Structures are given as C-alpha cells and as structure tokens.
A and B are shown apart, each in its own frame.
Chain A
Amino acid sequence: MTVNGTTYDRDVEPRTLLVHFLREELGLTGTHVGCDTSYCGACTVIVDGRSVKSCTYLAVAADGADVRTVEGVATDGELHPVQEGFWERHGLQCGFCTPGMIMSSVALLEQNPDPGEGEIRHAIEGNLCRCTGYHNIVRAVEYAAAKMRGEEPPAPDWEVPS
C-alpha cells in the first residue's frame, strides 16, 4: 500500500488492524487508539479519499490502497489549511483526538468545500473530543474551508462580540 506517498510492501498477518500496522510496523504513531468499539474516531485515516476508522479496518483490506495519515497532510513542511485552522482557532487541547479530527475534516473539505456549521458538526460526529466541546473545532474547520476556497477566514471569536 501507499502511505503518505511512500509505497510499502509488507507481509502482514490477516488479523492485523490497519491502525496497528501504521503505528507498530511503520512507526506512524500520530494515529491514535481511543476505544475498542469503533466509536471514538481517534484512529481516523483517509483510504482512497474516504475517511475510515483504522481500528476496524484490516491492513490487508488496504492492499494496494492509497492511505493518508496525519503525518502526511502537510506538504513540504507547509501545514495543511486544516492543521493551520486547528492551530489558529484553538481547535485542540490535549491533542489526542486531533489527528483523527484533522483527517475527518480534510475528507469533509475535499468533498464539500463550503460546509455550513451543521454539516461540519455532522461530518465529525464520529470523532469524539472530551476537551474542546467542539466549539473551536468547528471554528477551525470554518477557517480551513475559507482558506481552501481562497477567501479570508472569519474573524476569531475573541475579536467579535458574541
């Protein structure tokens, strides 16, 4: 499979989960594990353009696929607009959910460049965050969406009275 642009050729046990392949075989520990019921989304990666929970995806199922993880979204050291949005709008606190959130948001914006607040909330519904109350995650995605459309991002909350 191709991971973040590099092709890997490995033999894996049939039961190996994609998340363990990424973390243990390739050392890509940015993809996290937060549950055992495919519920928290900390393990979200993008496989052939779709966001998937890599804890319920067998590594063999990704044979020949194009896999993107949080380590691969920046290009030439330049942050992806979604990463920039999370930084600019305080979309993370402990950071544990963040890689999965970023991947879900990247997948959303590739499909829908101009999502409304409700669409953003719906798109990240499968990614749990216990720290932020999602408020600033939504602002981060709005920031990134505007940037990717070539527009000026909305002013941050702290500059506009609510």
Chain B
Amino acid sequence: MSTTSVLGGVVRRKEDPALIRGEGLYVDDIKLPGELAAAFVRSPFAHARIMSIDASAATAMDGVHAVYTADDVRHLGPVLAQVAVGTLRPPLADGAVHHIGEAVAMVVADDRYIAQDAVDAIFVEYEPLPAVVDLKAAAADEVQAHEGVSNVLLAWSGQDWWPGVTDELPDAKPVIEEAKARDDTVTVSLEMVNQRLIPTAIEPRAVLANWHAGYGSFELWSSTQIPHALAGAIAKIFGLPSNKVRVVAPEVGGGFGLKLNIYPDEILCCFASQRLGKPVRWTETRREAPASSIQGRGWVGTATIVGTRDGEILGYELDAICDMGAYSQNFTVAIPLLGLFVAPGQYNIPTAYTLTCVVTNTPTTDAYRGAGRPEAAYYLERVVDRYAREIGMDPAEVRKKNFWQPDQFPATTAVGLTMDSGNYAANLDALLEKADYEGMKARRDAARADGRLVGIGLSTYVEVCGFGPSALAGLGFSWSEYGQPAAFNGSGVVRVNPDGSCTVIIGTGPSGQGHETTWAQIVSDQLGIELDQIEVLHGDTAESPFGVGTFGSRSLAVDGTATFEASARVKDKAAAIAAHLLEAAPEDIRFADGGAHVAGSPDKTVSWPEIATSAYQPHTLPEGMEGGLESTAVFSPGNATWPFGSHLALVEVDPDTGNVEILEYWAMDDCGNVVNPMIVDGQIHGGIAQGIGQAMFEAAIYDDDGNLLSSSLMDYPIPTAADLPSFRLDRTTTPTDVNPLGVKGIGEAGTIGSAQTIVNAVVDALEPLGVEHVDMPLRPRNVWQAINGARG
C-alpha cells in the first residue's frame, strides 16, 4: 500500500466547517411546505390486553387529520426483521401491548402541539396481564411475555449453529470437564450482570416522509445508519420498485447501533403521507426514546475458567441468558451470536458456550456499540482477572501465557472463525511499557500501605468487524429480508469531473465517523488530486451506489476498499489518457502535484483538468477508448477483520462514599493500517467513554411490572465532561490481508475494551477488603454497599 502523507496523515475534517457554523442539516432542520406532525399514544403497561380505543374526541379536534390504530395498519406489518426468530413487532400494538411505551395509536395533526393534545384525548382501556422482566424468571417460562408463547427463542450453543463450519469443531465440554476433575487445577466462576443500556445518541431519531402521488414515489428523510436497507424495506412493504423510494440520511447526530433498524414510525409516516397527501414528520422525544428505539446489552450469566496453578488456562465456559425484549427487530437474536464470535478473546483455549435468548416484557434489544462483543469481552476478561488473583499471578502474565502467537495466524478459534492477523503479546507489552505498569503497581502498593483504596485494571480484547464475507451475511446479517442481496458488499463511485475536481459517492451511512475526510484521503492518495478538490457524497439512495450502511466497524474496511479500487481504475484510465496526451507509455506516467508527468521528465506534465477534459472529448482520447472518467467498484471481503488491543486503568475508590475516580486511562489499540490517526483516536475516545458509561453510570432499570425507572437523562446518566479523564492512547499496527488497504475498523473497539478495565480496577482497589466482584454500574451506592458488605 502507498504511504504518502495523505494516507496515514492527520488532516482536518471536511465535515466540520458546516457543522461548527451551525449549518449542518439534520432531519429536524428540514422543513417541507404543508407538513403535518405525528405523535404516538404509548402504553402505560408492560403487558396488557387492549380492550378498547376511543379516539372520537381526538378525531374531532381542530387541526387533527387522522388517528390510526392497528386496524388501519395491520397490512403493513409486521415490521421486517433481518433475523426473523420470535415475535416480530406489529406497526401498532395489535390486541395487546408487550412492553411499556409500545405505540398503540398514531395521531397526525397540523403541528406537534396539537398532535400531543390529541394523544392526551385518546382513551385506551387495558386489561393488565402479568409481566415478566427478570431474565431467570423469563427463562423459567412460568409467566409468558406473549400469552401462550414460550419465552425461550433459542440458545446459541455447541457446535451446530453454523452448518459446515462449526459442526467440524471438537466439542469443548468433555475437555473442560476433564480439566476440572484434575486435582492440580483450579476452577473459578463469576456470576455477573451485563446490564441493559439505552444507546442515547444526542440527536433523537427523526423521520419526514413525503408521498408523491403523481410520480408514485416516496421521499423519506430519516436519521438512519442504513439508508439503502430502509429504502428496500419501504419499497417491499408498499409494493414499489426500490427506485421509487428515495431515502435521505442527511447529517445524522450519532448512531451507535440504535439507528440500525427499520422502525415502525418510518413505515407509518410513509403510510400517513400516502393516505393524507401531505408530508408527515415525527421527531422522537428523549422521554419516549427508550421505547421507540432499541436498547442494548442485558445479559446475566456465569463465566468459568479452569486452569493450572501456573497460569495455563485449560478451558473457558460462558453460560448466559440474553434479553431480547418483547419483539424481535432487525438483528435482535443475532446480537449474542456476535458475542460468541469473540468469546475466547485473544486466547487459544477450549471454549464452551450457551447463550440463551429470552423474551421479556421490555422494549426490544438490538445492536448497541459493540453489539454482543462488549458483553463477551466483559465476561471473559473479568473471570481471567479472577483466575489470576486466585493463583496469585500478575493478570498481565496470565494473559500473555495464553495468547495466540503471531506465527499462528490466520488462527481458527475455538468457535470456528478464522482470525486474520494479531500480535497480542507485543501489543500488551507496548501498553505496559508506555503506562509504566511496574511503576503504577508500586504507586498502588504505596497508596494501599497508606490505607487508600487504589486499584489497577487491565483488559485485552479482540473484535470481529468489517462485515463482511457473504458466507456470514447469509447467516442473517445482511438485508435479504429487505429485498436486498444477502451480502455485505462495499461500494464506491469515483468520478473525475471535466474540470479536474473529483466526486466520490459511497454507500455508507455515517453518523459522525468522518467518512468524507477519510475517503477523500484515500482518493487523493491514489490520484494526486488535492483534498479540497474532492467532494464525498453519501446517504442519498437516489445518487449513491447500493450500500449496506455504517455499523459493525465495517465502513472503511469494506466500502473504503471499494472506493480505493474504483480510484485505482480511474487512475489506470487517466494514465492512459495522460500517456496519449504526453506521447509516452502509460506505465511511465506518475501522478503528483495536481496532475501527471512522465517518469524522469518532470517537465512533461498535464494537469488533472486537462486529463479530465480530454476524457470527455472523443477527439482527444486514445483511439477506441470510451469517454468519461469514472468507475464504480463493489468489494466483497473474504473474511471479517479482527482488531485487538489492551486497556489499562488506575482508579481510586473513596471508602466513605463509594465514589470511583479514574486517575489514569491508557489504551493501546491495533486496527491495522490507519488512514487518519486523528479520526481513529476520536473513535477510541468516544468508545471508551461509552464503556466507562456502562461501567460506572448507565442502567436501564425496570421494576417487576416492567415500568422503566430511568427514562430521562436525569436518571439515565451518561458520562459528562466532569466524569471523565483525558485518555492516553497509542497504537500498534498489525495490518490485515483481507483488504488491500490493510485496515480493520475502529468504531467499536474502545467500547469493547473499556467496561471490564474499569471494573477490574475497582475490584482490584477493593481487594484488601476481600471483594471479588461488583456488578455494573459502579455507582457510589453500589460500591459503598460492596465495601460495607465486605467489612461485615
């Protein structure tokens, strides 16, 4: 790969000038003449029969255009899900509600104030039913979340979930049982909660739908990560060819997985617009977001390690119940599967797992930053720490002893997937040296001697991302249910315009990841066209090549590669044209300084405008060459990519209040080659903050009746600036050969590495008290209780 300063260098973002002036257009900033506003009647019960709905007063109100219930929209549903296991969500609750906040009726009115007044004037009579919220109770199946339907959807377990791949694997169970029975081994277990989270992008979701009767087409603006999948879904639901649905994802104010779904409000706004002949808008309020969007995580389970007394891990078991919520949406039941992809982490160890997917009377869970992988890393890295303590060995040494070695890659893991590249011990050593681990331990011990509760936490992780190979897509991770191919291709168009400027159009759906800048760097590096002459467009299905969207840390590795390949083809053609103009051989053409020259003759040059203009004029082209200067490339990777890294934290716990202060946070990530280090570091910062948010602050808390006790930002505290330290980052670089750029992906790594780093540190701080585990979130009260429980 090329190593010019543009690729691998820091450049300021192309996105920013508009955003810092307040000129960025998000869905709620776009107004259409005559638009109407929607609002939803939401269930106050987690489980109830709907006995009657009286909308007469609301319908009669001035400015109210329509009230819709299940009877009006049943034909549109259920809402499509990519992995259609379990009960799918009806567009509006049909006969019964199954979680708090479920939409029961939709009002469309002149504006949102009137719509809300009308919502308050609709009377719904419910007959409450028993709700099931607790995961163990759900697995026991005594109370059912959907009457007469088992709560247990499936268990990802054993060797049979991927026919042809996992069924070839040896069964780890007998190996592990045998190791446990040996008298020279130790077995440690931790039962832990990985709590439910509310993703909380700062921009709430927003939808604006406009039906054009004359054209027979929809325009739909949505704050989504997956514009093409949404267009496909709307086309399928309304019986239209997909080219009659134009979805636009303008600026998107954060995604984190919550905008990676087809939502009923998107379908219903289209429906209402078609019925009423006017544009229809809905903007989510923060208070309804926990029910109107998906949530994440929600596991209870036990992690067990058996190993020798000198640190050799002989087996790992993970047995967890995973909360799906009431309805399956896009990826719901596949999220735990993503977790088990990385269940053995960086270790070459026999691994057995059972991840049981259960339904509860709570809102749906689906992908939230990391999606299964933070949960898996949490269970593994907590119990590895527990094991290290049990045998009295340094946690870093235990980890190193069990790592895959660099010469073992590509490495087929205990769960049957093949990891591309890794250099784990070198990465961990680099972190320990950078952070002065030995010095940190000495400082901790000195503080301890003074009676302070100071602790060090370490975690390694491996991530699977860059989705992906179409064999995996076929397992249910693609958009085939949405009328799209079962593949996870990337796509990019590179067009050099006649004036020598360049337009790049990509199939991703970014929400802050800086694609415009990164993709411009890739193209500029190839073509030698200045960054400010390159415009990168995305998010509009009418203009962009078919794309899968942005999630799973996939965009650069897959769509970035497609753009790289498209620009390589453009470069080849431009070289042929330049050679023709300069009367030289194409292989002697070099691109630099805004044009091309002949190798060895720097004064024989043509500029990009000259090349580009010639490309569109048959009389200036080489004989027989087709006009134009653009290429569309589609890239399908042969494997996922496997970033990895190590995180380290130093914390202090206040014994009187239980308050945790993060004194230092260090991270050494490895995402292969890096296009823009500034952007990569920014992704890690944000990821770490979300992991710390889970470790210390956030929890979606439901009472036994399924009422959400944390519906506002006051009782769902995401980290503030005052809660976090500055982060100290560095990286190692282990490229992948899955794509020609050697890049892996970095969107989720920070989140996957961080939560257990903090918990390990806090448990280490409490070690003198004999505390073995504290469940997240480590709010002062929980930590204080652990301290006082230990003190008896």
Contact = CB atoms under 8 A, between A and B. Distances in A.
Contact of A133 (B254, B689, B730): B689
B685 A79 contact: no
Contact of B512 (A94, A157, A161): A94
Given A40-B202, A128-B713, A96 B686 contact: no
Nearest to B26: A96
27 contacts: A30-B23, A32-B26, A36-B285, A87-B16, A90-B681, A93-B254, A94-B201, A95-B20, A96-B24, A96-B251, A96-B254, A98-B19, A102-B20, A125-B720, A128-B202, A128-B720, A129-B202, A130-B200, A130-B254, A131-B512, A131-B682, A133-B685, A133-B686, A133-B724, A156-B10, A156-B678, A162-B730
B715 to A, nearest CB: 10
A157 B681 contact: yes
B407 interface: no
A28 interface: yes
A112 interface: no
Interface stretch (A46-54, A56-64, A135-143, A145-153): A135-143
A138 B729 contact: no
Contacts of B629: none
Contacts of A86: 16, 20
Chain B contact surface mostly: loop
Contacts of A98: 19-20
Contacts of A157: 681, 729
B563 interface: no
B726 A93 contact: no
A18 interface: no
Interface in A110-136: 117, 120-122, 124-136
Contacts of A127: 721
B707 to A, nearest CB: 18
A97 interface: yes
Nearest to A70: B22
Contacts of B12: 87-88, 90
Interface string A5-46: 000000000000000000100001111111111011010000
Chain A contact surface mostly: loop
Contacts of B126: none
B202 A42 contact: yes
Contacts of A37: 286-287, 712-714
B682 A96 contact: no
Nearest to B510: A94
A27 to B, nearest CB: 9
Nearest to A33: B28
Q: Of residues A36, A88, A90, A136, which shows the largest number of chain B Cβ atoms within 10 Å of its Cβ? A: A90
B721 A120 contact: yes
* In the complex, the 9 A-B pairs of residues with the closest C-beta atoms, listed nearest first: A30-B22, A96-B253, A94-B512, A133-B689, A95-B19, A93-B512, A70-B22, A133-B685, A29-B29
B204 A34 contact: yes
A36 B714 CA distance: 11
A97 B24 CA distance: 11
B251 A95 contact: yes
B682 A90 contact: yes
A12 to B, nearest CB: 14
Contact of A130 (B251, B252, B514, B690): B690
B726 A135 contact: yes
A36 to B, nearest CB: 5
A87 B687 CA distance: 20
A138 B713 contact: no
A37 B714 CA distance: 8
A112 B362 CA distance: 47
Contact of A138 (B22, B512, B690, B726): B726
Q: Chain A, interface size: which category?
A: 35 or more
B727 A83 contact: no
Interface in B331-367: none
B28 A92 contact: no
Given A96-B254, A131-B512, 14 more contacts: A29-B26, A70-B22, A87-B16, A90-B13, A94-B254, A94-B511, A94-B512, A95-B512, A130-B690, A134-B689, A136-B681, A157-B681, A158-B10, A162-B434
B17 A87 contact: yes
Contacts of B713: 35, 37, 39-40, 128
A134 B20 contact: no
A120 to B, nearest CB: 7
B718 interface: yes
Contacts of A126: 720
B726 A117 contact: yes
Given A30-B21, A98-B19, A125-B722, A135 B727 contact: yes
A124 B511 CA distance: 22
Contacts of A87: 12-13, 16-17, 20
Contacts of B685: 132-136
Interface string A72-88: 00100001000100111
Nearest to B679: A90
Nearest to B201: A130
A156 B676 CA distance: 14
A29 B25 contact: yes
Contacts of A28: 22
B256 interface: yes
B728 interface: yes
Contacts of B172: none
A35 B286 contact: yes
Nearest to B693: A130
B15 interface: yes
B559 to A, nearest CB: 18
Nearest to B682: A90
B78 interface: no
B688 interface: yes
Contacts of B254: 93-94, 96, 130-131
Given A95-B512, A128-B713, A69 B22 contact: yes
Contacts of A94: 201-203, 251-255, 511-512
Contacts of A69: 22
A37 B713 CA distance: 7
Contacts of B19: 92, 95, 98
Contact of A96 (B10, B21, B202, B730): B202
Contacts of A90: 12-13, 678-679, 681-682
A31 B10 CA distance: 29
Contacts of B632: none
Contacts of A158: 10, 677-678, 681
